[in-house]
Structure 1
């Protein structure tokens, strides 16, 4: 049955940045597909509700509150092996950078953004590799990038640059880890998470963004979770080095910051 290809029964996944938003949706989606999930975020309270949803799906969560920008790279991997005895899927979702005008962006802003979005993902991936290789079917790594890594937008010099780097890192890692470990990425557009609450509550702003989006709406977290499930499961077993653009068909930026011309 075709739907069986989307199952993760008996698998273990790690999802970073899983306290809310896209990470939470991906973690719960994996559990609903049969996986036990190690979830991590800085705030323990955020993880509790996600852990509850994983339990409601009949699977076992392991919640680890940690700041991954300073934590040991093998923290989550070691926890997964100790608790579940295996690791099959890694989702590098943690990341981000505050937007600001280019002239106000300093070298330390770029350094910090690169570390948080690319270096942390790389270090966790390297820690995971031996355990992914231990599986008969290998494993799957999914990096969460952004449409801003492909489309230029004002105010995103740091964020867009590091997300573009993560997208190309995905291609490079896929080549190095072929054929046993698949490495892919998802580049979301504007998704209705708590990060966009201010957009959802402002009819004028939301309308402007939707007008510039070919599908004329904002995305839902479960649509990103569905893409992640595809990449993590046997359904996506012939994809590696790919960046899925789950962005409503964007051909141009749909959300520039109101930064005036110089």
Structure 2
């Protein structure tokens, strides 16, 4: 039996909700009936998934003053906030030893401290709702496996998963806090990261399901965790990664079934 999730009347915030994974999250919540507000540095183009949100605000989530102002404005417009999705993040590849301290600091601010600022500013509002609030943190497979070239990004995502577990205990029972760990996702920037179509197909072959996730797959997981179906789930990290990564030894083992 199919279960339809209806979030009509719920107010949802998505940081970085205009593009990539964030746009998929935005569109999924809109389809579930929620009122969605997004923030970022660049407004979504008309007709793109991120433009499904009725309101975009230009906010630098690394700036706690801008974050607090945005949270207050959204709460004032809607009389409250039910769900916050900390999605903003990312990092270009860089050699750890030669990257500047400023680079490492900016990566940490975007991928970890931004979620700290948003969650802290939103807590008084999301915890005041009668049904309890939800905070969702978007993390990465890089949090729990080596992340060469993006080492500080992986470390920041690992910190965000730790924060998720701690806040789930500290804020219970008023607010549920969970994380969604993304595997490889096919976004508009994927080709620049993974290569041309042939290279992307080979990379997809390392995923047990054989395909990249779509942004909408991440969005569907967020909608599920924000819904009453997940009312007893908090402090969890939900892997949305198609089975993770195929162990390297399987490429060389003569008969993997016997190992």
Q: What is the match of residue 34 of structure 1?
A: 33
Please state if 1:72 is matched with 2:57: no
1:21-63 Cα shifts (integer Å, max 9, x gaps): 1111111111111110111110124488456534xxxxxx221
Where structure 1 has 5 or more consecutive residues not aligned to the other structure, the ranges are: 55-60, 255-262
1:49-108 Cα shifts (integer Å, max 9, x gaps): 456534xxxxxx221122222352213311211211110000000112222123223433
Secondary structure of 2:72's counterpart equals helix
Q: Which residues of 2 match residues 33-182 of structure 1 at below 5 A?
A: 33-46=32-45, 49-50=48-49, 52-54=51-53, 61-70=54-63, 71-182=65-176
Contact 2:67–2:121 (Cα < 8 Å) also in 1: yes
Measured in 2, the distance between the counterparts of 1:140 and 1:67 equals 22
Q: What is the match of residue 250 of structure 1?
A: 244
TM-score (norm 1): 0.87
1:179-208 Cα shifts (integer Å, max 9, x gaps): 110000111111110120336761332132
Contact 1:25–1:225 (Cα < 8 Å) also in 2: yes
Contact 1:187–1:243 (Cα < 8 Å) also in 2: yes
Where structure 2 has 5 or more consecutive residues not aligned to the other structure, the ranges are: 249-259
The alignment yields a C-alpha RMSD, in angstroms, of 2.2
TM-score (norm 2): 0.88
Contact 1:174–1:241 (Cα < 8 Å) also in 2: yes
User: What's the CA shift for 1:110?
Assistant: 2.6
Question: Matched residue pairs, number?
Answer: 247
